[in-house]
Structure 1
Amino acid sequence: MVKIIPGLVFAVIIAILANFISGLEIVKKTVNFSPLIIAILLGVFVGNVWKIPEQLKPGVVFSLKKVLRIAIVFLGFRLTFQNVIDVGLEGLIVDAIMLTLTFLFGVWISRRFFGLEPEMSYLIASGSSICGASAVLATAPVVRAEMHHAAMAVATVTIFGTTAMFVYPLVYKFAGSSLGFDDILYGIWTGATVHEVAQVVAAGFAVSDVAGNTATISKLTRVMMLAPLLIALSFYLAKKNAMHGAGIALRDIPIPYFVFGFIAMVGVNSTHIIPQNIVHYINLIDGFLLTVAMAAMGLETNINKIKGVGMKPIYAAFLIFIFLFVVGIISIKVIHALLG
């Protein structure tokens, strides 16, 4: 246990620095990157400029694996089952359709057109279809991806999620009426198709409080779908890797057990037995733990391997972004017409 302390402290220091930088006024008014993104950038910079001493490695790996899983479990305190009810049947169906179609399209386009490795394809698809960097982090251990794959996937969802944050309000302002959208439908569209929670909040409230609240609830409902997707992906990969049609043993399935902890925390939060002020602090601590894991990911990322991947992941993510934008509009109009 003592071996992990130096590397863990190092990752924590980077996470603290990332939080400080993200809070600077100039950062807020320009790129507006979350501490998660800044932490991975700092980690990549430090890890590639300076050779990390061997005594730091155990703690960095611990941060990347154990701390990450703990943080994902406590992500459940950002959601309640009431969120699903609040978004309504229309929003729930749109969320489910967009998540499923985007994930399948993302994997297909990445593999078929750009020849990306399966692990990279799964990471880009999950990050785009669910909740950005957090989904990439959660999916990486399930598909046994290398850290340079995860870092590149995080970069893609950051680029196009940030783009969406500015584009969506402009589209609604100039073309919302021709699309037949009101603030509620815009909120569902934003929550069901924009990558990160923070980006959804920004794009939603840029229009109105109604749009912002609807977008946030729609997005959180979509985040909740991370659990069933990872479980389904685990079983799919086990079946795919089974040799000569032999039966699949439970031990061969990389079940992401932390996902069940995530669901359990959603259940606990849904009961409201824990006071809101305590839940607030749990979420603050959890956000910091995610930042520590991101810092560790950056430290473990070899920039030369990212260069070797090239621009193909960016191209794939761009097409997924277009898919989210267009198919999201179509899905909402069809579902609204059927249920309206």
Structure 2
Amino acid sequence: MSKSNKVLSEIKNIIPGLIVAILVSLISMGLAKFMPSLGAGTIAIFLGMLVGNLFLGQKVFQSGYKFSETNLLSYSIVLLGGTLSVTKLMELGFSGIIFVVIQMAITIVGTMYIGKKLGFSQNFRMLMASGNAVCGSSAIAATAPVIDANDDDKGITITIVNITGIFLMFLLPVLCGRLYNHEVVKTSAMIGGTLQSVGQVVASGEMVNEHVKEMAMIFKIVRVILLVVVVFTLGHIKHKTNHEIIEEEVSDVKKGKIKIPWYVIGFFITCALFTVNIISPEVSSLFKAISNKLEIIALGAIGLRVNLRELIKQGKSVSLYALFVGLLQVVTAIILISIFL
């Protein structure tokens, strides 16, 4: 198959699911006018879950759903950078960065320990650690080849990490309302420093307000930047505990094969351009409007990809593992926020 034919084939595979995600987002935006307290993003997730599990969960739609969730959300994040100045990023402060680093370290160590007590393999525990500490599926995909994990471990871990994130995505806004009365920095730290995927951070922040969503994304981006460090560390641990040479896998990190996601770089570029006024306020407003629309489509796709049957199928031990890790993350965040923020 020629390159052009391959591209056309991929586009054809994406279109059905993309159309469904767009329709879900349009309906959600319409419903949000009557339910402004919920917001279009939240409605899109719930509507997507309903539609995806009852009617449109077939394989033909999955490529489009995945494209909408990953690619469109990435474009949304890059455009979001064009609405924020460096001054806004600096609101995180040194204490905010320390919070993120310690939160990630405790998540990794705790996840490895809990998994060992529950009898899971080292590879499975490492995938759970990276997925929960950094950025969900992306971190798992980056870690798997470095530790030589098999496809079964990778698939189950991606499923359980995403399911954990979905639950926390709805829980954290309520919890932060009780604990912090939705104070921006503390609520953003809880959401951005805890949730597994970028999409979940956007969705959860959206449930509170625009300021929390933006600040939570900054906390999350710091975690994503540290992906290289986490993957290298886990590869090094694997090498030492097995007492064998895995230079090929670990050297992938050294050679730069494990890279910071492109949208993080794009976010900082557009942020810098806005700070020095190359992106004008008028263009920034356009960026924000487009970013918001892409975000709602992506959130609808997140809902469409939630497979409730997969959740029911997971065994008791895997469910307990996810529960304990989620509790660890939330409790640790509460303690660290009280200390640093």
TM-score tier by shorter-chain length is 0.5 to 0.7
SS of the residue 2:247 aligns to: coil
Alignment CA distance shift 1:322-1:149 (3 Å): closer
User: In structure 2, how many angstroms separate the alpha carbons of the residues matched to 1:244 and 1:121?
Assistant: 17
CA contact (8 A) 1:98 1:324 kept: yes
Equivalent residue number for residue 272 of structure 2 = 270
RMSD over equivalenced CA pairs, Å: 4.4
Alignment CA distance shift 1:309-1:193 (3 Å): same
Equivalent residue number for residue 16 of structure 1 = 22
Equivalent residue number for residue 159 of structure 1 = 167
Q: Larger deviation: 228-237 or 242-251?
A: 242-251
Q: Larger deviation: 82-91 or 28-37?
A: 28-37
Residue 255 of structure 1: which of 254, 257, 264 is its match? 257
Residue 221 of structure 1: which of 212, 218, 221 is its match? 218
User: In structure 2, how many angstroms separate the alpha carbons of the residues matched to 1:28 and 1:154?
Assistant: 27
CA contact (8 A) 1:74 1:283 kept: yes
Per the TM alignment, residue 165 of structure 1 is displaced from its structure 2 partner at its CA by 1.6
Mapping 1:107-146, distance limit 5 Å: 107-113=112-118, 115=120, 118=123, 122=127, 126-127=131-132, 129=133, 135-143=135-143
Equivalent residue number for residue 171 of structure 1 = 179
TM-score (norm 2): 0.67
Structure 2 unmatched ranges of 5 or more: 1-6, 145-150, 196-200
User: In structure 1, how many angstroms separate the alpha carbons of the residues matched to 2:140 and 2:190?
Assistant: 25
Equivalent residue number for residue 97 of structure 1 = 102
Alignment CA distance shift 1:126-1:308 (3 Å): same
SS of the residue 1:2 aligns to: helix
Per the TM alignment, residue 16 of structure 1 is displaced from its structure 2 partner at its CA by 2.0
Deviation track 1:205-227 (CA, whole Å, cap 9, x = no partner) reads: 6xxxxxx84x5565233211233
Report the count of equivalent residues.
Answer: 305
Deviation track 1:255-282 (CA, whole Å, cap 9, x = no partner) reads: 3546144224322322213331232144
TM-score (norm 1): 0.67
Q: Larger deviation: 280-289 or 269-278?
A: 280-289
User: In structure 1, how many angstroms separate the alpha carbons of the residues matched to 2:43 and 2:95?
Assistant: 30
* Identical pairs, percent: 12
User: In structure 1, how many angstroms separate the alpha carbons of the residues matched to 2:336 and 2:105?
Assistant: 12
Alignment CA distance shift 1:27-1:126 (3 Å): farther
Mapping 1:234-313, distance limit 5 Å: 234-236=231-233, 239=236, 240=238, 244-248=244-248, 252-253=252-253, 255-257=257-259, 259-272=261-274, 273-274=278-279, 275-284=283-292, 286-287=294-295, 290-291=298-299, 294=302, 297=305, 303=309, 306-313=311-318
For 2:272, the aligned partner's letter is S
Are positions 1:323 and 2:328 aligned together?
Answer: yes
Deviation track 1:101-124 (CA, whole Å, cap 9, x = no partner) reads: 224323442454363784586357
Per the TM alignment, residue 29 of structure 1 is displaced from its structure 2 partner at its CA by 6.4
Equivalent residue number for residue 68 of structure 1 = 70
Per the TM alignment, residue 157 of structure 1 is displaced from its structure 2 partner at its CA by 1.4
Q: Larger deviation: 189-198 or 61-70?
A: 61-70
